[in-house]
Amino acid sequence: MRMPSVTGRAGVPLWRLLVVPVFALGLLPLQADAKDGKDGKEPVSFQHKDWALQCDNTRTCRAVGYQAENSDSEPVSILLTRDAGPDTPVQVDLQVSTEKASPAALQIRVGKFSLPGLQGDSPRVPAAQVPRLLQELLKNDEATVSAGKDRWTLSLAGASAVLLKMDEAQGRVGTPGALVRRGTRPESSVLPPVPAPVIKGVKPSPPRKDDAALAKPLVAALDRASMEGQCNGDDAFDPANVQVHRLTDRKVLLSVPCGMGAYNFSSLLWIANDRPPYKPEPLQDVDGDFDPASGSVHSAMKGRGIGDCWWVREWQFDGQGFARTRESGDSMCRGFAGGAWQLPSYVTR
């Protein structure tokens, strides 16, 4: 099962219970200060008031806005997505959360703009209406989303700063296609998209009946002193609690359960030989739940107990080790069950 895509919400799958530890909460990518990502190698992230921005390593940017943090409104969010490159359009999606049945259609009103009849769980604003909507979003303090007598109030505090940061990240400031500071600089000067890295995944070898018996000698070969403070108690290293997965004809993956918290949990991973000398090598910056069928590792971190924000990372076995394939997260914890959107910061092919 997968996390909810960038197009909408979903229920919380069981694999989310295998997540990274509570002390990692500081790793959430969207901070108050932006990272300079003009080279495409360091994705830009920025947050201001009720809006946030996340650009990924291809320079695709996604801006999101929510209801005000202390608002009486039920959760509501808007997502603006724009690919890198000259003359690219902006896609706009809406989403609301309610204890009632999902509304059949939504209407958005902001300033002089009104658009009814938006259907679906995460309805998309028609492309022809987006320019008018963007104009009003930048001129007003809030927008109203409604369905019959139900109302949601979308805060526009922070929208101008976040959309300006989006323009900066994509090299659009001063061009006709800029969202905030337009000018006469040619569209050809806009930064091009960066190709996503290509990962060649390798399917692990089939398990062997004696793989589980490797748990005891592999645990004994670990450098326990180097892991001080990373695992909760010696029970984590009980061979009965660890897992051994076959990777290749001569290599296995050792998974040790560590970092149990109030609602987050992680496993530390090593690649080792399947015979002496075992020489287990820790996987740096790779943790989570291993799927032996696909050779992938999934790690998810819940921002708080109610599960309205998540940070997800994935890696794929490539025959030698594990290559990062995906990073994404919510921008803010604003009451959507399972999170409102997943905003990629790193993507691959």
pLDDT by residue (tens digit) across 276-316?
999 999 999 999 999 999 999 999 888 777 778 889 999 99
Q: Which residues of 277-297 are buried (b: 16+ CB within 10 A; e: fewer)?
A: ebebebbeebbbbbbbeebbb
pLDDT digits (tens, 9 = 90+) for 154-177: 999 999 999 999 999 999 999 999
Task: Scan for tokens 């000018």, then name that residue.
Answer: 183
Closest CA to 142 of 49, 51, 67: 67
C-alpha 348 chain-centroid distance: 13
The confidence score (pLDDT) of residue 115 equals 98
Q: pLDDT at residue 3 above 70?
A: no
Q: Which amino acid is at 198?
A: V
The full set of domains in the chain, from first to last, is 29-195 (2.60.40.1880)
Burial of 339 (0-12, 13-18, 19+ CB in 10 A): buried
Closest CA to 94 of 72, 126, 69: 126
Q: Round to whole Å and give the CA distance between 323 and 306.
A: 31
Q: Round to whole Å and give the CA distance between 291 and 245.
A: 9
Task: Scan for tokens 């003009």, then name that residue.
Answer: 38
Q: Round to whole Å and give the CA distance between 285 and 287.
A: 7
Are 74 and 124 in contact by the 8 Å Cβ rule? The answer is: no
Burial of 243 (0-12, 13-18, 19+ CB in 10 A): middle
Q: Round to whole Å and give the CA distance between 126 and 13.
A: 31
| Segment among 104-118, 229-243, 279-293, 315-329 with least mean pLDDT | 229-243
Are 106 and 122 in contact by the 8 Å Cβ rule? The answer is: no
The confidence score (pLDDT) of residue 26 equals 32
| Segment among 42-56, 131-145, 256-270 with least mean pLDDT | 256-270
Task: Scan for tokens 């326990």, then name that residue.
Answer: 224
- Sign of the CA dihedral with 90 first, then 153, 135, and 189 last: negative
Looking at per-residue pLDDT, the higher value among 135 and 11 belongs to 135
Q: Which two tokens stand for residue 220?
A: 């004994």
pLDDT digits (tens, 9 = 90+) for 46-64: 999 999 999 999 999 999 9
**Phi (first) and psi of residue 344, to 5 degrees:** -65, 135
Q: Which two tokens stand for residue 6?
A: 């960038």
